A and B are shown apart, each in its own frame.
Chain A
Amino acid sequence: MAPKHRLTISEEESRRQFERHSKELLEHNAGQGVNYWAGSPYPTMLLWAGRIYDFLHVLEEVMGWPAARRYSYVVGYKSGWDGAGVKLPDAGDLPAEESKLRLLHLGCEILAGVGWGRSSVEYDPEGGTITWEFPQGTAVGLAAKMAGPRQNPACAFMSGFVGGWTNRALGSQAEYLERDCVAKGDARCLIVSTDFIRFKDLVSAPK
């Protein structure tokens, strides 16, 4: 029977990852006034977490939470999928199962290091379930909380990100749902692998 795995980032580790990912790996092109990260050719910039939330919020005012959630989720998914792809070589020399765990932990390290949230991952290879817990909330959830209480979770982008990252790391095709969210009054943000999502049970009120 395969053991369950729990990968976590301590507060001390979060500080170290911040030094690495938000300082050491960030380069400034003074001519452009644009930043670049970890040697990537794509411009990188500091952005208020609330602006990521706004993508969801603006869309849901027009088309409701379920459809708006899908757009945020897919954008986050692409980001997570591509991010894990860039990090695949970092775990390439390890045995298959260790490589998966290393990639999951790298996800935690980067999320904390770039200020998206400190997290723990629980991975049950036997049951095929995965949970990402952000014990004090994701940056997006915390930003959404400041905008006022919500009926539905605010972390669709984050859910997509960890979904894309995890699926690429594990070679899986699971879907992820932001079950708990600080923006709707929960103590933490919790993102779980899930079967078919039923919106009837989730949508509490029209937005």
Chain B
Amino acid sequence: MQGPALSESGIAQVYARVPSTVEEKLREVVDGLRRIPGVRGVAVSRRDGLVIHHSFKSAREAAPLCAMAAAVVGFSTALYTQVGHGGSFSQAAIESTEDTLLIAEAGPEAVLACVLAPGGNLGIVRLGIAKAAQRVNEILEEM
């Protein structure tokens, strides 16, 4: 996604809006995950990939991650529907030479994405994401 086109076209403002009280609760969840050593950034997106809340420096940074994360959840869900054995998608981990991307379904309405630096404790982060995803789901259900 090209930087300048994002703001000039107004696409940066295309995100899912929630009441400020909900945003504050989501901030607590995101900040909690962000405090785990090695976690570089966390984003909560709506099921379609529009950003709801994130810890990145800018929406421009979070937007493509959220879009891709929602696509991964959609693709993985379709994959399990086709070839799964009764299970359903819960988390995906995508590793690169630079970092690890963890993506989790956060209930029927949201997706949680987390970027972990090399050397970060994957087990702790996965547990943290599972709890955070559950909390995100509760927050959005209460909304």
A interface, CB within 8 angstroms of B = 62-64, 66-71, 73-74, 77-78, 81-82, 163-164, 167-168, 173, 175, 195-200, 206
With CB as the reference atom, state the residue of chain B lying closest to A81.
B10
In the bound assembly, the distance between CA atoms of A164 and B14 in angstroms comes to 9
B117 within 8 A of A: no
B109 within 8 A of A: yes
Are B13 and A167 in contact (CB-based, < 8 A)? yes
B103 to chain A, nearest CB (A): 12
Contacts A70-B49, A168-B10, A197-B16 hold; do A63 and B109 have CB atoms under 8 A apart? no
B78 cross-chain contacts in A, Cβ below 8 A: 62-64, 206
Contact pick for B75, options A62, A69, A77, A173, CB 8 Å: A62
B143 to chain A, nearest CB (A): 7
Contacts A62-B75, A64-B78 hold; do A70 and B50 have CB atoms under 8 A apart? yes
In the bound assembly, the distance between CA atoms of A29 and B13 in angstroms comes to 36
Are A63 and B74 in contact (CB-based, < 8 A)? yes
B71 within 8 A of A: yes
In the bound assembly, the distance between CA atoms of A168 and B75 in angstroms comes to 33
In the bound assembly, the distance between CA atoms of A155 and B46 in angstroms comes to 19
B70 cross-chain contacts in A, Cβ below 8 A: 63, 66-67, 70
A167 cross-chain contacts in B, Cβ below 8 A: 10, 13
Are B49 and A196 in contact (CB-based, < 8 A)? no
B16 to chain A, nearest CB (A): 6
Scan residues 107-139 of chain B and give those whose CB is less than 8 A from a CB of chain A.
108-109
Name the interface size band of chain B.
Answer: 20 to 34
Are A82 and B9 in contact (CB-based, < 8 A)? yes
B interface, CB within 8 angstroms of A = 5, 9-11, 13-14, 16-18, 46-50, 67, 70-71, 73-75, 77-78, 81, 108-109, 140, 143
In the bound assembly, the distance between CA atoms of A67 and B70 in angstroms comes to 6
B13 cross-chain contacts in A, Cβ below 8 A: 167, 173
Are B49 and A67 in contact (CB-based, < 8 A)? yes
In the bound assembly, the distance between CA atoms of A91 and B124 in angstroms comes to 57
With CB as the reference atom, state the residue of chain A lying closest to B70.
A67
In the bound assembly, the distance between CA atoms of A81 and B70 in angstroms comes to 24
Are A70 and B81 in contact (CB-based, < 8 A)? no
Are B74 and A74 in contact (CB-based, < 8 A)? no
With CB as the reference atom, state the residue of chain B lying closest to A172.
B13
Are A66 and B143 in contact (CB-based, < 8 A)? no
In the bound assembly, the distance between CA atoms of A6 and B73 in angstroms comes to 40
Are B11 and A196 in contact (CB-based, < 8 A)? no
B75 cross-chain contacts in A, Cβ below 8 A: 62-64
**CB-CB nearest 4 A-B residue pairs:** A63-B74, A64-B74, A70-B48, A200-B108
